[in-house]
Amino acid sequence: MSTPKLDVRTLSVSFGPAHHATRVVHDVSFSIAPGEAYGLVGESGCGKSTILRAISGLNSAWTGAIALDGKALAPRRTLEQHRRVQMVFQDPFGSLHPRHTIDAILAEPLAIHGLDDRNGRVQRALEQVGLGGAFRFRFPHQLSGGQRQRVAIARAMILEPRLLLLDEPTSALDVSIQAEVLNLLEDLRRDRGLTYLLVSHDLAVVAHMCERVGVMRQGRLLEECTADDLRAGRVREAYTKRFLAASEGYDRAMARQWDTLDEERIA
Amino acid sequence: MIAPALLSVEDLHVRFDTPHGEVAAVRGVSFDVGRERVGLVGESGSGKSMTGRAILRLTPPMARVSAARLSLEGEDLRAASPARMRAIRGRRISMVQQDPKFSLNPVMRVGDQVAESFLVHHRASKRVARERTLDMLAQVRIRDPKRVYDLYPHEVSGGMGQRIMIAMMLIPEPALLIADEPTSALDVTVRTQVLAILDDLVSSRGLGLLFISHDLNLVSTFCDRVLVMYAGRIVEQCAASELRQARHPYTRGLLDSLPKLDAPRPRLPVLVRDPAWRDA
Amino acid sequence: MSAVVPKPGWKAWLTAEVADSALQARAQRAWFGWLRFLRNPLALAGLCVILALGLVALFAPWIATHDPLAQDLAQRLLPPSSAHWFGTDQVGRDIFSRVVYGSRITLAIVFLVGILVAPIGLMVGTVAGYAGGRVDAVLMRTTDIFLAFPGLVLALAFVAALGPGLVNAVIAISLTHWPGFARLARAETLVVRSSDYIAASRIQGASALRIVLRHVVPMCIPSVMVRTSLSMAGVILTAAGLGFLGLGAQPPSPEWGAMLASGRRFLLDYWWLATFPGLAILVVSLAFNLLGDGLRDVLDPRSS
């Protein structure tokens, strides 16, 4: 393919002191084409959020290679690099500073990067996510969960990034609000030619939003497939099959089959 | 439903006084639960959790609960004294909550907590309680009950913690179990396993189950009947197998706005709330 | 539109549904916080007492009935009467006037200590908490050294080294109180540091300085404010203790603690010498405590 938007090669992340480190991500490699939406799906502890943090620059203790538009990203990012990769977080209640007005929250990235027309940009960012000017001088606790998530998206978009990292963006939202936010994200991607890396535990959301999906388990990328393959059940790994089946809902017959419980990891 | 209902609720109201006036979290809810699984589904703010708590009379102190009827196996719960309610909770009705991280006491061994649940309602020696606990832990398919007995809550995974909660709540042998989002904090594959255990226990003991959740899909596959709540009222009651043919526009809207693996759509239909639904 | 607001429109401006400017948004928030504060009668009483203290200090020359330093040996040790509301002390000075003027000293101590310890403790705590690693270790061990000594003992040591006097007493008291604030700010910072909104700022490329000043400090300010108020009670008592030992404001200055000390000898027969300054200390300390509790109820960011 042409230069992938994001190219990750043998990414590994460990936590803890050097002599006693725990590997959380093992040699993960994948690529995302420009304008594509790629989903990373897995259960808790699989390392998907850790990968996002490494790509975003929040976590600098990784080894391997991360390239954006063909250019390597170092663990420490430049201001320009920060502009091109932004992130939307899972918890709408925790991702906005409780003491800042929406206006201040949106204006801050502009101030950090020295961009002009602060007023106009903030106004447009809010309109882009379907919020009017009435929200500008409110505080986060005066907004609903869905509105806060829209502000979080506006904040991520205001710097005009090319790659958007989405960490379970709708997991904490009600079903009816989830649909609105997913539609908004899809519109933004289409209108601006953005590239998405979406992380979720919800297969239905991932299959809806993404063209390709990577299934992760315990720090490893188990398999990659297209969303269509996922829907049709054309998957290779037994784990993926189980994940798919469990996502459909509860099935008495299927539950009987799994009589050997995985001995769950004890902390 | 020919058998008499275990739980009978009629015209339940839960009201709060706030600085902005009176707010009603539950506005006239009526339903019965027999020896079956009933799913109570709603979004946040629909009043579903408050309904569960009102049945157990565990609402916040400033809440005002009123009902035309609230009875368990014929006994009127509204008239029960605090001492009587304490005897009922656990022994006749139990509740499993969402996250074992928060519902298990972090400084007590899990086995002791389950044993305590038994001892509160039965006069027995500690040894008997321990034996019963080990037996119960085995029933929730914990492979090494003796070892797990001595663990602390932070040492067990989410799925195991929830199984321990189920053990704790079922050891006094209640007639009705209320489960408030019991699997929402669990991974999808673990969820299936925990639900299977709940499934077996509910069937084998002939319990009534009130399953409160926001997950419409899950409830429709696990339960026998589904009640959909919106703004403090029940807007739809139907058999779980007939949920796809639901009639109320809110239920239809919710079902439509869910992304589905087997039915891809470029855009998800967005639920438009009709103010008229509040007075369904 | 918000520039020309007629006086009666203030209420509407403060309770408007939609705020038009950052100023209005903050004013509205302060207004609702104030209304919440008013619901606590004890805290309100505390605030009133402190405001009264301020007024008394400000208008001392007009409130006092006599010159606080004027001695009149013919009028010594007189009990409270219409001429001398709190009686006179052992050299004939009017105790009421001395208590009134003493409020200036108390207020000065409280104010000076407050503006020293709160900002210093806040900055040390937030920097230590955010930076972590060696910076954190160095700053916290320094704090530990100061914390290891009992407050009054440390204050005594400093005053002994620096010499007695009001300014030195203020410095000594500040040195004993700032570590508590640093610890508090650091604890808050550790919690705040792992929040998503801090992560979002880092992803935007914000420098550590910007994050500490604009994101971390605002979250620490409420608890620091509460602690300042609660500490003031202790500060007044420490100052009184130093004054009692002759190490604070020097005679003939009407500092309440010093008045307590000199009145102690006469306590049994001439109770009014020590009782009135003692009551003043009690009332003001209590007021700061109540105010602090009320502030905590209003400002706790966790509840919002």
Q: Which residue has the tokens 């739809």?
A: B236
**Which residues from chain A sit within 8 angstroms of residue C24, using beta carbons?**
137
| Residue B85 shares a structural domain with residue B210 | yes
**Which residues from chain A sit within 8 angstroms of residue B143, using beta carbons?**
261, 263
CB A114 within 8 A of CB A121: no
The CATH number that domain C105-303 falls under is 1.10.3720.10
Q: Comparing C-alpha atoms, which of C44, C39, C46, C2 is closest to residue C20?
A: C2
Burial profile B165-174: b = 16 or more Cβ within 10 angstroms, e = fewer: bbbbbbbbeb
Residues of A with CB under 8 A from a CB of B: 43-44, 145, 174-176, 178-180, 182-183, 186, 201, 203-205, 207-208, 227, 230-231, 242-244, 246-252, 254-256, 258, 261-267
Q: Give this complex's ipTM.
A: 0.90
Measured between CB atoms, does C14 come within 8 Å of chain A? no
Report the pLDDT value the prediction gives residue A1, as an integer from 0 to 100: 52
Report the pLDDT value the prediction gives residue A259, as an integer from 0 to 100: 54
Q: Are strands B7-18 and B64-66 parallel, antiparallel or unpaired?
A: antiparallel
**Quick one: pLDDT band at residue A261, thresholds 50, 70, 90?**
very low
Q: Which residue on chain C is closest to A104 by alpha carbon?
A: C22
Q: Phi-psi region for residue B206, left (φ > 0), alpha (ψ -120 to 50) or beta?
A: left
Task: Give Cα B253 to chain centroid, integer Å.
Answer: 24
Q: Which residue on chain A is closest to B260 by alpha carbon?
A: A204
Residues 27-46 of C with CB under 8 A from A: 29
Averaged pLDDT score across all residues of chain B: 91
Nearest CB partner across the interface for A137, out of C19, C218, C219: C19
| Residue B66 shares a structural domain with residue B147 | no
Cα distance between residue C54 and residue B112, in whole Å? 58
Averaged pLDDT score across all residues of chain A: 89
Domain extent for A194: 6-257
**Which residues from chain A sit within 8 angstroms of residue C200, using beta carbons?**
87, 89, 95, 152, 155
Q: Do C301 and A99 touch (CB under 8 A)?
A: yes
| Residue B76 shares a structural domain with residue B191 | yes
Within a domain: A267: no
Instruction: Count the domains in chain B.
Output: 2
Nearest CB partner across the interface for A98, out of C22, C206, C304: C304
| Residue B88 shares a structural domain with residue B202 | yes
H helix and E strand count, chain C? 13, 0
CB C235 within 8 A of CB C285: no
**Which residues from chain A sit within 8 angstroms of residue C215, using beta carbons?**
97
Report the pLDDT value the prediction gives residue C3, as an integer from 0 to 100: 53
**Which residues from chain A sit within 8 angstroms of residue C19, using beta carbons?**
101, 137-138
Within a domain: B258: no
Q: Comparing C-alpha atoms, which of C132, C201, C211 is closest to residue A56?
A: C201
- Kindly state the DSSP code that residue C94 receives in the 8-state scheme: B
CB B41 within 8 A of CB B228: yes
3-class secondary structure for A160-195?
Answer: CCCEEEEECCCCCCCHHHHHHHHHHHHHHHHHHCCE
Q: Comparing C-alpha atoms, which of C69, C108, C99, C46 is closest to residue C289?
A: C46
Q: Do A108 and C206 touch (CB under 8 A)?
A: yes
> ∠ CA C298-C303-C304 to the nearest 5 degrees?
85
Which of residues B152, B173, B194 is at a domain's end? B173
Q: Do A95 and C197 touch (CB under 8 A)?
A: yes
| Residue B34 shares a structural domain with residue B110 | no
Cα distance between residue B183 and residue B118, in whole Å? 24
- B240: buried, middle or exposed (CB in 10 Å: 19+, 13-18, 0-12)? middle
pLDDT tens by residue, A80-113 = 999 999 999 999 989 999 999 999 999 999 999 9
- Using DSSP's 3-state secondary structure scheme, residue A233 falls into coil
Q: Do B217 and A249 touch (CB under 8 A)?
A: yes
Which chains form contacts with chain C, at 3 or more CB pairs under 8 Å? A
CATH number, domain of A211, equals 3.40.50.300
CB C253 within 8 A of CB C105: yes
Q: Comparing C-alpha atoms, which of A46, A66, A51, A41 is closest to residue A226?
A: A41
| Residue B16 shares a structural domain with residue B107 | no
Mean pLDDT value across residues B200-222: 92
Which of residues B137, B154, B173 is at a domain's end? B173
Measured between CB atoms, does A138 come within 8 Å of chain C? yes
Within a domain: A263: no
Report the pLDDT value the prediction gives residue C238, as an integer from 0 to 100: 83
Measured between CB atoms, does A15 come within 8 Å of chain C? no
Measured between CB atoms, does C1 come within 8 Å of chain A? no
Q: Which residue has the tokens 């998957």?
A: A235
CATH number, domain of B33, equals 3.40.50.300
- Using DSSP's 3-state secondary structure scheme, residue A69 falls into coil
Measured between CB atoms, does B231 come within 8 Å of chain A? no
Within a domain: B11: yes
Report the pLDDT value the prediction gives residue C207, as an integer from 0 to 100: 93
Report the pLDDT value the prediction gives residue C34, as an integer from 0 to 100: 87
The CB-based long-range contact list for A147-152 (8 Å cut-off, 24+ gap) reads A148/A92, A148/A93, A148/A95, A148/A96, A149/A88, A149/A92, A149/A173, A149/A177, A149/A181, A150/A181, A150/A184, A151/A96, A151/A102, A151/A105, A151/A106, A151/A126, A152/A88, A152/A89, A152/A92, A152/A95, A152/A96, A152/C200
CB A91 within 8 A of CB A170: no
Nearest CB partner across the interface for B221, out of A43, A208, A251: A251
pLDDT in tens, chain C (304 residues): 445 555 567 777 877 777 778 888 888 888 888 888 888 898 899 999 999 999 999 998 998 888 888 888 888 888 998 888 888 888 889 999 999 999 999 889 889 999 999 999 999 999 999 999 999 999 999 999 988 888 778 878 888 888 888 888 888 889 888 999 999 999 999 999 999 999 999 999 999 999 999 999 999 988 898 889 888 888 888 888 887 777 877 778 888 888 888 888 888 889 888 899 989 989 998 999 898 888 888 876 444 3
Q: Which residue has the tokens 């509040």?
A: B278
Cα distance between residue B49 and residue B43, in whole Å? 10
Contacts of B255 (CB under 8 A, 6+ apart): B216, B243, B244, B246
Which of residues B173, B193, B216 is at a domain's end? B173
CA atoms C36, C38, C43, C48: torsion sign: positive
- Using DSSP's 3-state secondary structure scheme, residue A9 falls into strand
Single-letter residue type at C256: W
Q: Do A108 and C219 touch (CB under 8 A)?
A: no
Cα distance between residue A181 and residue B257, in whole Å? 11
pLDDT tens by residue, A148-175 = 999 999 999 999 999 999 999 998 898 8
pLDDT tens by residue, A11-34 = 999 888 878 888 899 999 999 999
Report the pLDDT value the prediction gives residue B3, as an integer from 0 to 100: 56
**Which residues from chain B sit within 8 angstroms of residue A178, using beta carbons?**
257
Cα distance between residue B29 and residue B229, in whole Å? 9
Q: Which residue has the tokens 């919002």?
A: C304
Phi, psi (deg, nearest 5) at residue A194: -80, 165
**Which residues from chain A sit within 8 angstroms of residue C197, using beta carbons?**
94-97
- Residue ranges of the domains in chain C? 105-303
Q: Phi-psi region for residue A56, left (φ > 0), alpha (ψ -120 to 50) or beta?
A: alpha
DSSP letters for C139-185: HHHHHHHHHTS-HHHHHHHHHHHH-SSHHHHHHHHHHHHHHHHHHHH
What ranges in C194-271 are assigned the alpha helix state H?
A: 196-204, 208-210, 217-244, 256-264
pTM of the model: 0.86
Q: Comparing C-alpha atoms, which of B232, B257, B266 is closest to residue A177?
A: B257
Within a domain: B246: no
Which chains form contacts with chain A, at 3 or more CB pairs under 8 Å? B, C
| Residue B31 shares a structural domain with residue B155 | no
Task: Give Cα C267 to chain centroid, integer Å.
Answer: 29
> ∠ CA C54-C57-C60 to the nearest 5 degrees?
140
pLDDT tens by residue, A114-136 = 999 999 999 999 999 999 888 88
Please give the residue that has the higher pLDDT: either B274 or C213: C213
pLDDT tens by residue, B131-160 = 999 999 999 989 899 999 999 999 998 889
Residues 126-185 of B with CB under 8 A from A: 141, 143, 151, 154-160
Task: Give Cα B235 to chain centroid, integer Å.
Answer: 19
Domain extent for B11: 1-92+175-241
Q: Comparing C-alpha atoms, which of C222, A17, A180 is closest to residue B254?
A: A180
Contacts of B19 (CB under 8 A, 6+ apart): none
Cα distance between residue B134 and residue B128, in whole Å? 10
**Quick one: pLDDT band at residue B213, thresholds 50, 70, 90?**
very high
Return the biggest CA–CA distance within chain B. Answer: 63
Q: Comparing C-alpha atoms, which of B191, B7, B181 is closest to residue B96?
A: B181
Instruction: Count the domains in chain A.
Output: 1
Q: Do C200 and A95 touch (CB under 8 A)?
A: yes
Within a domain: B247: no
pLDDT tens by residue, A173-204 = 988 899 999 999 999 999 999 999 999 989 99
Cα distance between residue B50 and residue B55, in whole Å? 9
Nearest CB partner across the interface for B43, out of A175, A205, A231: A175
Contacts of B52 (CB under 8 A, 6+ apart): B40, B95, B178, B180, B210, B212
- Token pair, residue B258, equals 């869910």
Q: Do A246 and B160 touch (CB under 8 A)?
A: no
| Residue B60 shares a structural domain with residue B73 | yes
Residue A205 has pLDDT above 60, yes or no: yes
Contacts of B92 (CB under 8 A, 6+ apart): B72, B73, B174, B175, B176
A&C contacts, CB < 8 Å = 77
| Residue B186 shares a structural domain with residue B62 | yes
